[in-house]
Structure 1
């Protein structure tokens, strides 16, 4: 065989391998939802909590015996459980150890499964249940319609927008609030550890879209001299518990925002299109004193060429915005700069914190 023929043969083999790899990537993308459903089942069955409460690795039989609270009202299907756990082990959500004496395999937690413990201070379990709820999954099936004819994915799926549905559906409202509150806990820790200087000079702070008040309450706890205001829609704050040093105020951020030295917004502006964000920023500008004050925006800053720990996830969250909001989106620094300037904030700093989000510290034009 000539050298040219060998080269052609090698090129053909490489092409075949590339073709097969391409097929595998499509399969993976096609069935990636299986990971979400397996994870959801683990959260619903409280598998991580069962292992954690045992204090160490346990067998499938031991896990099964604790499902349904160990009531014995029904007998769990261990074969199905084993198959779900097999995938979750491959995804490194759990680990499995096969004893050398031939005993039953035992399963244990990993750094990942510790994030789905229900009673942990740092848990994503409520978010797993929220994002995989059938009501929130349905809009994803409307993406092609949105491309073809425009419109809002959630409204196409349900005939109304998510905020309207949440205001009329107490179960969904609770699920949504719990999902947002759980992310708030660890992002709050990141804010408190990575933005100490920025918070230390504030006398009063209003959290716009603050939900049930988890973020502002932790800030006030860390800085007791700050007068905190939790501001959100009336049906949201109606479920908010009392916190020392925090006032709950119901209202509409598109109409007016309570006055304070500074405004903080965590994962609010990404829910809205540019024009809505500009209106919210203009109202923030009116809420803070002239010649001073600032807006603290806690959001993702997309980096198209970034290869950091969270950079890829930001682009996935951008599609979540298509699924669940009117015209919300994650933004690049260039996009943030444009809406900040049009909202009356010509100066800004981007501050990295140990979280998916960054802090965009924005100052008004007359600062």
Structure 2
């Protein structure tokens, strides 16, 4: 009773929070083992049946599945007779761990657990030293430089980012008036999934994806959209390689700039401003916007956690509207407006000054 009270609620809360790393590892383990795919192919199974199919230890798998069911990831099936083994089946949460599910998040879970989590182990060090935690745990290299040297992990990262693309995409596609523009130019569009969703929901615009042609070819289900598409290989640090703007265009940078520090953001946006020239076009920056107390009122504290992720992995940050105004001004853009959406992401609108 060192604090003069008998209230133990604080200790209980901290105890529960300290145990949060265990559910993360449970989720990672069932994703890595492929439990959801096995259940999807063969239907409800007991731990014994799953262990035989997956080639793992039955008793230990049972203990992991028991926790996963209590987390809501799988559904338990009562045995048909007394003393029988409890079965397990997929539910809407575990279905997202199946490889070919349209809302699959399996690779995102695998990549972040394997590579972001070790960097987060250095969070206190990063705060103490103002250091780059990812570089400390990945041979002194940035994430993008490290991935270039590890093709297998880069492939996993690409799949993970495709799955991240699906988070908030529908809100982005419907909460802004895309049909008011003749062309949508997605700078750093990477995998094409965001543009595909935009064009499937909004029938009027044409689309340009910068840096995504080879990825698009791997997605035949989007083939009906290709007549409305143009593909451009480019480098957003080099204005000469970027698409040139025409009147009525809207340029989009979605979840790009939060990977870079302020000085690099100014360089990227200055390059983009040059490419846009004097055309009557606008820029939309799609990011998580902080400030105004929104990150403190978010019950899932998603904004705050995304900002920490940027700090740890990229040595960068999510930004406030005043911070965006300052960066835009330095890059010769004028701020237009801030547009919230139904997702955790919002839109910062700007125009070449």
- For the aligned pair, the TM-score class normalised by the smaller chain equals 0.7 to 0.9
1:203 is aligned to 182
* SS of match in other structure, 1:159: coil
d(CA) in 2 for partners of 1:93, 1:163:
32
Q: 2:323 is matched with which residue?
A: 335
- The structure 1 segments of at least 4 consecutive aligned residues displaced by more than 4 Å after TM superposition are 221-225, 236-240, 305-311
Q: By how many angstroms is 1:308 displaced? A: 6.3
Contact 1:220 1:246 in 2 (8 A): no
Q: In the alignment, which residue of structure 2 is the partner of 1:63?
A: 50
Q: Compute the displacement of 1:291 (Å).
A: 5.8
> Which residue number corresponds to residue 351 of structure 2?
364
1:241 matches 2:230? no
Tell me the residue number matched to 1:127.
108
Q: What is aligned with 2:237?
A: 254
CA contact (8 A) 1:96 1:107 kept: yes
Question: Equivalent residue for 1:317?
Answer: 306
Question: For residues 51 and 163 of structure 1, what CA distance do their matches in structure 2 show?
Answer: 35
1:148 lines up with 2:131 in the alignment = no
- Asked if the contact 1:212/1:241 (under 8 Å) is kept, the reply is no
Counterpart CA distance in 2 for 1:275 and 1:249 is 25
Residue in 1 that maps onto 2:65? 85
The normalised TM-score by structure 2 is 0.83
Whole-Å Cα distance in 2 between the matches of residues 310 and 279 of structure 1? 35
Is the alpha carbon distance of 1:298 and 1:346 closer, same or farther for their aligned partners in structure 2, counting shifts above 3 Å?
closer
Question: 2:100 & 2:326 partners in 1: Cα distance?
Answer: 41
Tell me the equivalent position of 1:71. none
1:283 deviation in Å?
2.7
Q: Give 3-state SS (helix, strand or coil) of 1:292's partner.
A: coil
CA contact (8 A) 1:206 1:230 kept: yes
**Is residue 2:209 matched to residue 1:230?**
yes
- Gap change, CA 1:336 and 1:28, over 3 Å in 2: farther
CA displacement at 1:165 relative to structure 2 = 1.4
Q: Which residue of 1 aligns with 2:91?
A: 110
Alpha-carbon deviation of 1:339?
2.9
C-alpha distance in 2 between matches for 1:255 and 1:289: 14
Cα contact 1:216–1:230 (8 A) shared by 2? yes
- Counterpart in the other structure of 1:6: none
How far is the alpha carbon of 1:47 from its aligned partner?
A: 1.6
> What's the secondary structure of 1:92's corresponding residue?
coil
Assess if the C-alpha contact under 8 Å between 2:74 and 2:94 holds in 1: yes
Structure 2 match to 1:70: none
For the residues of structure 2 that align with 1:229 and 1:350, how far apart are their CA atoms? 23
3-state SS of paired residue (2:268): helix
Q: Which residue in 2 is equivalent to 1:182?
A: 163
Superposition RMSD on alpha carbons, in Å? 2.9
Quote the residue 1:16 is aligned against. 6
Note if contact 2:171-2:341 (Cα within 8 Å) is conserved in structure 1: no
CA distance in 2, matches of 1:334, 1:66: 55
Under a length normalisation based on structure 1, what TM-score does the superposition of the two structures give?
0.80
CA deviation profile, 1:230-253 (whole Å, cap 9, x unmatched): 224xxx765552761433333321
Quote the offset at 1:315 in angstroms.
1.1
Which structure has the larger Rg? 1
CA–CA distance in 1 between the matches of 2:98 and 2:6?
44
Q: Any unmatched runs of 5+ in structure 2?
A: none
The answer for the alignment partner of 2:193 in structure 1 is 214
